[in-house]
Amino acid sequence: MLFLTNKMRTRILSLIYFAIGILFIILHCMQLTPAAFVSKVLIILPLIVMLALNLRNIWTREQTIMFAGLFFSWTGDVLLEIPGGGEAIFMAGLGGFLISLVLYAVVFFSAPGKNEVFHSRFYLLIPVLLYGLAMGLYLNDYLGDMRLPVFVYETAMITMLAGAVSRIGRVNQTSYVMVLAGAILFIISDSVLAVNKFVQPVSLSTLTIMGTYIAAQWLITTGYIRQFTMRVV
């Protein structure tokens, strides 16, 4: 694949990524647990390869953090899909995604230039904060002993979204919109997961949770790459 252009490599890896994601959803809905687990293990790997290939000549500390964010997302994917995993495995998977969200937030806040959101555009964060507050209040009565870890996770989630918002004016518009859309979809995925697990079953939960999650990770990764080159896809 090294002899291909960045554009061709990214398109091929994107097709592989979405194909694996769709395959996982189908296998999971058919309750083919072993096969679904294998496909879940493979989902994030094309994005890791995509990031490494596209940015290999301009690698920085922030890109290493982004790479680590994808890695911990992969860890969370694997742990949450382990057949028969109990509460401890769920907490470990939640921990993987928690670290991933924190690392994404660090990368987003590290975009070059003046952070206008913290100076003249704080109003852009109001919807983010209101959503976090509303979601916390909605889940509060259903969490029991999970209240603290879920609220810590939600804080990281809202911080990640705030980081995506804060990139405005500091990166090109395509990169900004893609990463922001990915961050929003990531939060939608996690919110539906929380409602489905702690409140009540959600219709078509696997399709909704995984569909938004798969789109989110692709948008975040390719949007981040586009911060450095507009010819990636």
Task: Enumerate residues 6+ apart whose C-beta is below 8 A from 48.
Answer: 67, 70, 71, 74
Average pLDDT over residues 222-229: 91
DSSP class of residue 117 equals G
Task: Enumerate residues 6+ apart whose C-beta is below 8 A from 37.
Answer: 81, 82, 83
At 1 the pLDDT is 57
Burial of 8 (0-12, 13-18, 19+ CB in 10 A): exposed
Q: What is the dihedral of CA 5, 7, 9, 13, to 10 degrees?
A: 180
Is 210's pLDDT higher than 70?
Answer: yes
Nearest CA to 197 out of 231, 163, 146 is that of 146
As a whole number of angstroms, the distance between CA 126 and CA 128 comes to: 5
Per-residue model confidence as pLDDT tens digits over 100-157: 999 999 999 999 988 888 888 889 999 999 999 999 999 998 998 889 999 999 999 9
Average pLDDT over residues 158-168: 96
pLDDT band at 4 (very low <50, low <70, confident <90, very high): low
Per-residue model confidence as pLDDT tens digits over 34-59: 999 999 999 999 999 999 988 887 78
At 145 the pLDDT is 87
Burial of 83 (0-12, 13-18, 19+ CB in 10 A): exposed
Question: What DSSP letter does each residue of 27-47 carry, written as one string?
Answer: HHHTT-HHHHHHHHHHSSHHH
Contact 53, 6 (CB under 8 A): yes
**Could you tell me where the DSSP H helices lie in the chain?**
6-29, 33-42, 45-55, 61-80, 87-109, 126-140, 147-165, 173-194, 205-225
Is 2's pLDDT higher than 80?
Answer: no
Reported as half-sphere exposure (CB side, CA atoms, 13 A), residue 14 has a value of: 17
Is 233's pLDDT higher than 60?
Answer: no
Per-residue model confidence as pLDDT tens digits over 18-35: 999 999 999 999 989 899
Per-residue model confidence as pLDDT tens digits over 72-106: 999 999 998 887 777 888 889 999 999 999 999 99
Is 208's pLDDT higher than 90?
Answer: yes
At 7 the pLDDT is 79
Contact 175, 223 (CB under 8 A): yes
Task: Enumerate residues 6+ apart whose C-beta is below 8 A from 89.
Answer: 79, 80, 82
Give the residue extent of every domain in the chain: 6-225
